[in-house]
């Protein structure tokens, strides 16, 4: 760990803390996305603090932060309204009661008002839980077992869906009929029999699978915008085709809006793209940085939760911290003009980065929607996971990331992650980012 993370950046304290942490914490970190093998090699930055659009590491380096906690810090770090609401709640009322509070219904009302497809909603703590509940509910509602999910996506780490996230193509079967590849050992045998893995953005593959096995398929589970293999937009008509095909066969369409929800607008990706799922999952967008998630949708499906047929439990579900944070965050997000401004700043970044990279003559382009984007270093377009594996140059991405970090711009070192923009980011932040990008692009083009 004496090797610097990035040449030209003093991160000695991070190196030392990582070495010490590794003795006590396996891999030195508490999530795979922070591990050396996820790109934070030879060690991750250790954080001192965040404020607004900025993050400061333990060596005193300050960065413009597009990592944003991998999404939740939509209002920037330490958003005053959210922080205050949480502090007030825990000081004056408490945290966990195992009884409801009036605040939960107020939060549910805001979510239902924001997202037209959500008639009723249950709260929980993480995206993983919310997806687990949504798939269980879909199985109970349809009395069928199989779930269709797509290569390259991530829906949390529960056994039932932690498959075919980023499989080696060699092990993943033919392009049009992928086999389910577990994230690793430890997954119970047999789970994969209830999973059907498909390439994304391919309406024919979906139509064929549903024609073949429609009567045993409970749900199609998808991110409406693929955010876990970089950023990949749905091809025009794809989500609409998905909606049609599932409706015809009584298959529950689940949108995993853990990343896109409340980030691409109050009504999420579904509002922005105009396609209505049966069930939706929200998490990162709703808590202003605190752990809170939600699963909701059609009242006739949610009725199985209402009547106790399907259990959704959780000691910490709708705890005081989560609810006060989310209530404050959603109030803040309802500020008139907030998303327009967020989009304007984000567009400036996305278009600006695209221009800088193309002017440098690099085979690269930027894909995104509003405050969510990723740079692809590729000569051809990328529409699904295998395109990314075959076409994206991960080595250039790594050098791009290093150059940007050296110049004070932080995002995840993995090409399959995203750049996130918050409401705290300013046009000045974007200008500084583009100035750095210009230098890095010139170096890469050499």
Q: Are 131 and 158 in contact (CB under 8 A)?
A: yes
Q: Which of 57, 65, 202, 256 is catalytic?
A: 256
Q: Which of residues 259 and 279 has its CB atom nearest to ligand PLP in the complex? A: 259
**160 binds ligand PLP per the rule CB under 6 A:** no
57 touching ligand PLP, by CB under 6 A: no
Minimum distance from residue 157 beta carbon to ligand PLP (Å)? 7
Stretch that binds ligand PLP, among 56-64, 127-135, 204-212, 302-310 (CB under 6 A): 127-135
Query: Residues 135, 254: contact at Cβ < 8 Å?
Result: yes
Tokens of 417: 């992650």
Q: Going by C-beta distance under 8 Å and a sequence separation of 6 or more, which residues neighbour residue 355?
A: none
Distance CA(11)–CA(197), nearest Å, equals 41
Specify whether the CB–CB gap between 217 and 210 falls below 8 A: yes
Which two three-digit tokens encode residue 33?
A: 């996305």
Q: Is the peptide bond before 117 cis (omega within 30 degrees of 0)?
A: no
Min separation Cβ 259 and ligand PLP, Å = 5
Under rule CB under 6 A, residue 256 binds ligand PLP: yes
Q: Rounded distance, CA 51 to CA 202, Å?
A: 41
CA 395 to chain centre: 23
Q: Beta-carbon neighbour count of residue 207 at 10 Å?
A: 16
What size, in residues, is the chain? 446
Least gap, CB of 258 to ligand PLP (angstroms): 4
* Residue 129 beta carbon to ligand PLP: minimum distance, rounded to whole angstroms: 7
* # of chain residues touching ligand PLP (CB under 6 A): 15
Q: Name the CA dihedral angle for 51, 53, 55, 61, rounded to a multiple of 10 degrees.
A: -120
d(CA 158, CA 160): 6
Stretch near ligand PLP under the rule CB under 6 A, chosen from 151-159, 230-238, 365-373, 402-410: 151-159
d(CA 401, CA 397): 6
Q: Please say which residue, 4 or 69, places its beta carbon nearer to ligand PLP.
A: 69
CA trace torsion 222, 303, 261, 108 (10° rounding): -170
Q: Any contact of residue 127 with ligand PLP (CB under 6 A)?
A: yes
Span from 122-130, 169-177, 407-415, 420-428 in contact with ligand PLP (CB under 6 A): 122-130
Of 59, 202, 223, 387, the one binding ligand PLP by CB under 6 A: 223
Interface segment toward ligand PLP; rule CB under 6 A; list 120-128, 199-207, 210-218, 352-360? 120-128
Contacts of 88 (CB under 8 A, 6+ apart): 324
Asked whether position 258 contacts ligand PLP by CB under 6 A, the answer is: yes
| Least distance (Å) between residue 71 CB and ligand PLP | 7
Interface with ligand PLP includes 288 (CB under 6 A)? no
Nearer to ligand PLP, 256 or 278 (CB): 256
Q: For ligand PLP, which is the closer residue by CB, 28 or 156?
A: 156
By CB under 6 A, tell whether 126 contacts ligand PLP. yes
C-alpha count within 13 angstroms, C-beta hemisphere, residue 32: 8
Helices (H), 3-78: 12-24
CA–CA separation, 379 and 376 (whole Å): 9
* Binding status of residue 131 toward ligand PLP by CB under 6 A: yes
Alpha-carbon distance of 269 to 248, in angstroms, equals: 22
* Nearest-angstrom CA–CA distance, 323 and 287: 8
Subset of 347-376 contacting ligand PLP (CB under 6 A): none
The residue from 77, 155, 166, 263 that contacts ligand PLP (CB under 6 A) is 155
- Check 284, 339, 385, 438 and give the catalytic one: 284
- Site membership for ligand PLP, residue 283 (CB under 6 A): yes
Q: Which is nearer to ligand PLP, 70 or 241 (CB)?
A: 70
Q: Return d(Cα 416, Cα 165) in angstroms, integer.
A: 11
Cα 83 to the chain's mean position, in Å? 22
Among 38, 117, 128, 246, binds ligand PLP (CB under 6 A): 128
- The pairing of beta strand 146-150 with beta strand 54-57: unpaired
Whether 154 sits among the annotated catalytic residues: the reply is yes
Stretch that binds ligand PLP, among 12-20, 96-104, 150-158, 333-341 (CB under 6 A): 150-158
- Rounded to a whole number of angstroms, the minimum distance from the CB of residue 166 to ligand PLP is 13
Q: Which of 259, 345, 356, 441 binds ligand PLP (CB under 6 A)?
A: 259
Residue 55 touches ligand PLP, criterion: CB under 6 A: no
User: How far apart are CB 122 and ligand PLP at their closest, in Å?
Assistant: 15
**Which of 156, 160, 268, 403 lies at the binding interface for ligand PLP (CB under 6 A)?**
156
Active site residues: 154, 256, 284
Applying CB under 6 A, which residues contact ligand PLP?
70, 126-128, 131, 154-156, 223, 227-228, 256, 258-259, 283
């Amino acid at each position: 760990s004496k090797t610097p993370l990035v040449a030209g950046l003093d991160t000695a304290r991070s190196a030392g803390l990582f070495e010490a942490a590794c003795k006590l914490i396996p891999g030195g970190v508490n999530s795979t996305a922070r591990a050396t093998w996820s790109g934070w090699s030879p060690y991750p930055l250790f954080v001192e603090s965040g404020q607004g659009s900025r993050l400061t590491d333990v060596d005193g380096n300050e960065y413009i932060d597009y990592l944003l906690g991998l999404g939740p810090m939509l209002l920037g770090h330490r958003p005053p309204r959210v922080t205050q609401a949480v502090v007030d709640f825990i000081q004056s009322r408490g945290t966990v009661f195992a009884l409801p509070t009036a605040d939960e219904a107020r939060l549910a009302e805001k979510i239902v008002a924001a997202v037209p497809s959500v008639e009723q909603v249950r709260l929980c703590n993480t995206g993983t839980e919310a997806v687990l509940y949504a798939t269980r509910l879909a199985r109970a509602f349809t009395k069928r077992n199989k779930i269709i999910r797509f290569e390259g996506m991530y829906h949390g780490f529960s056994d039932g869906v932690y498959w075919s996230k980023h499989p080696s193509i060699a092990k993943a079967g033919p392009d049009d009929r992928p086999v389910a590849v577990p994230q690793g050992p430890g997954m119970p045998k047999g789970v994969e029999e209830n999973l059907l893995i498909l390439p994304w953005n391919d309406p024919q593959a979906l139509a064929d699978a549903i024609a073949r096995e429609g009567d045993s398929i409970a749900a199609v589970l998808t991110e409406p915008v693929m955010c876990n293999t970089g950023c990949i937009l749905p091809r025009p008509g794809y989500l609409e085709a998905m909606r049609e095909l599932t409706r015809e066969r009584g298959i529950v369409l689940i949108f995993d809006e853990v990343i896109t929800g409340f980030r691409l607008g109050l009504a999420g990706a579904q509002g922005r793209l105009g396609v209505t799922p049966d069930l939706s999952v929200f998490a990162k967008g709703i808590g202003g940085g605190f752990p809170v998630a939600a699963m909701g949708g059609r009242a006739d499906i949610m009725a199985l939760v209402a009547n106790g047929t399907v259990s959704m439990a959780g000691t910490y579900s709708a705890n005081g911290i989560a609810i006060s944070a989310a209530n404050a965050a959603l109030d803040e997000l309802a500020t008139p003009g907030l998303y327009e401004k967020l989009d304007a700043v984000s567009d400036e970044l996305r278009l600006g980065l695209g221009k800088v990279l193309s002017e440098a003559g690099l085979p690269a382009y930027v894909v995104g929607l509003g405050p969510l984007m990723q740079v692809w270093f590729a000569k051809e377009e990328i529409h699904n996971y295998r395109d990314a594996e075959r076409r994206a140059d991960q080595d250039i991405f790594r050098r791009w990331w290093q150059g940007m970090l050296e110049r004070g711009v932080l995002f995840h070192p993995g090409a399959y992650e995203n750049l996130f923009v918050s409401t705290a980011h300013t046009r000045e932040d974007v200008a500084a980012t583009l100035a750095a990008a210009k230098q890095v692009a010139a170096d890469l083009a050499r």
